[in-house]
Amino acid sequence: MTAAKACWVPALVWDANGGNGNMSSEEQARLQMQQLQQNNIVYFDLDKYDIRSDFAQMLDAHANFLRSNPSYKVTVEGHADERGTPEYNISLGERRANAVKMYLQGKGVSADQISIVSYGKEKPAVLGHDEAAYSKNRRGGTGLLRELHEQ
């Protein structure tokens, strides 16, 4: 069994009652974005960058939010554990971030809403030199950002 790696992408959790009727659509979107950011890590297998099926539901929720809110953008961060050369880890982190981007685009999110960055091993989520730490550091992540201008 291979260890898991993470890639961070926000996930959407909908209110069971369909939201609060007294909230503006902007307030509802902001609340949904906050809920998405509570579930935003995708883990990858060792030296891999393909999206595992156990993260599809979370990514689908993020894609639904982004499609419904085109004024929001996301930055997908790719990460690796400390093993490997800096060049290899930057490249692997970029492939992981790009895999998340391509998944979201495949679900109808505009490419203009998604940017990627790779940090390689430079921003570990967990300090340590064992497989438990390595598996948490092989990740990617996203953060939703609102466009500065309103239409």
Give the relative orientation of helices 25-36 and 56-68 as an angle to the nearest 10 degrees: 160
pTM of the predicted model, to two decimals? 0.77
Q: Which of 6-20, 50-64, 71-85, 100-114 has the least mean pLDDT?
A: 6-20
- Amino acid present at 110: S
Asked if the model's pLDDT at residue 146 lies above 80, the reply is no
pLDDT of residue 26: 83
The tokens describing 71, both together, are: 């004024």
Confidence check: pLDDT of 73 > 60: yes
pLDDT at res. 116: 94
Residue 19's alpha-carbon distances to 34, 57, 69, 131, in angstroms, are 14, 20, 16, 41
Q: Is 81 helix (H, G, I), strand (E, B) or coil?
A: coil
Burial class (CB in 10 A: 0-12, 13-18, 19+), 45: middle
- Quick check: 106 pLDDT over 70? yes
Between 116 and 140, the higher pLDDT residue: 116
Domains and CATH numbers, the chain: 6-12+23-146 (3.30.1330.60)
The answer to whether 77 touches 140, Cβ cutoff 8 Å, is yes
Residue 145: predicted pLDDT: 62
How does pLDDT run across 8-57, given as a tens digit for each residue? 444 333 333 344 456 788 888 888 888 888 888 899 989 999 999 999 99
